[in-house]
Each structure stands twice: as structure tokens, then as C-alpha cells.
Amino acid sequence: MSARRVLVLNGPNLGRLGSREPDVYGSTSYTGLVERCVEVGRGLGMAVEVRETNDEGEMIRWLHEAADERLPVVLNPGAFTHYSYGMRDAAAQRTAPLIEVHISNPHGREEFRHTSVVASVASGTIAGFGIGSYLLALHALADELGD
């Protein structure tokens, strides 16, 4: 049996993990995040593909791809979380589970970060556990998919 394909999609500035505000986002590099997601996914029978973009249109295209191919998604929208209705509408078209993740706890930060336009169309949200948020999301997907 082949591994279930899963997309882990990251929005703006997440490619700068490890150097961007380590007191908020931790010291793990983006490469380290990718390696951990792929490794944990493999252990769960998933073929995890991790992507990052600073471009809203590209994120929307990836969400369309996921919907068209019925791919589960772990989504860290970054700053798009708070205002991208286009991304939210693309996420709403999902045909498989979609879990929103955040490295930090948005509710413990600036007030503008308290609103997620994605949360209402996601299967669930995991936040505040550093890169562990992604790993928890992959486990939740495995449970939800029954893999």
C-alpha cells in the first residue's frame, strides 16, 4: 500500500524559521521543520510534501490543487491567517481534512492576530506548541483519516 500524500503548506516568512524572532518561533530552521514533518509523516504512513510561499496567489493555487486531488492539508497561513479571504475561500473548497496550525499562540499575542479567517473552514486548529503544532496536526490527520 502506498503512503497517503499530505501537503504541509506554509505562508509568508515561515521560510525564515530559526532566524526570525527565535523567542517567538523557536530556533528550529525551516529545513529542520521540513525534516521533522517528513520523518513523522513517514512513521504515520504519509508522504508529506512541505511547501512555503510569500505569495498569496500561489497559496490559493496550492489549496485548489489539494481540493482537486482530495489531499489532506496542514496549513500554517502565517500573516494570511488574519486577512486573506481569497485563501479562506480556497480552503473552504477542501475535499479532505485541513488542519490550521500556528507555531505561537495567536491569542497570546497582538490583538490583530486573534482573528483567523481560516478557522471556520478548517477541520481544527492547533497552536502554541512550536513546531510540535505541525507534528500534532499530522497525528490528528492520521487519526481522522483512519490510516
Binding-site residue positions for substrate: 76, 82, 89, 103-104, 113
Q: Is 107 a catalytic residue?
A: no
- Sequence-distant (6+) residues with CB within 8 A of 144 are 72, 97, 123
Q: Is 134 a catalytic residue?
A: no
Binding residues: 76, 82, 89, 103-104, 113
The Cβ of residue 8 has, within 10 Å, a number of other Cβ atoms equal to 26
From 25, 30, 107, 139, the catalytic residue: 25
Asked whether the beta carbons of 129 and 31 are under 8 A apart, the reply is no
From 102, 107, 114, 134, the catalytic residue: 102
Asked whether the beta carbons of 100 and 75 are under 8 A apart, the reply is yes
Asked whether the beta carbons of 18 and 86 are under 8 A apart, the reply is no
Catalytic residues: 25, 102
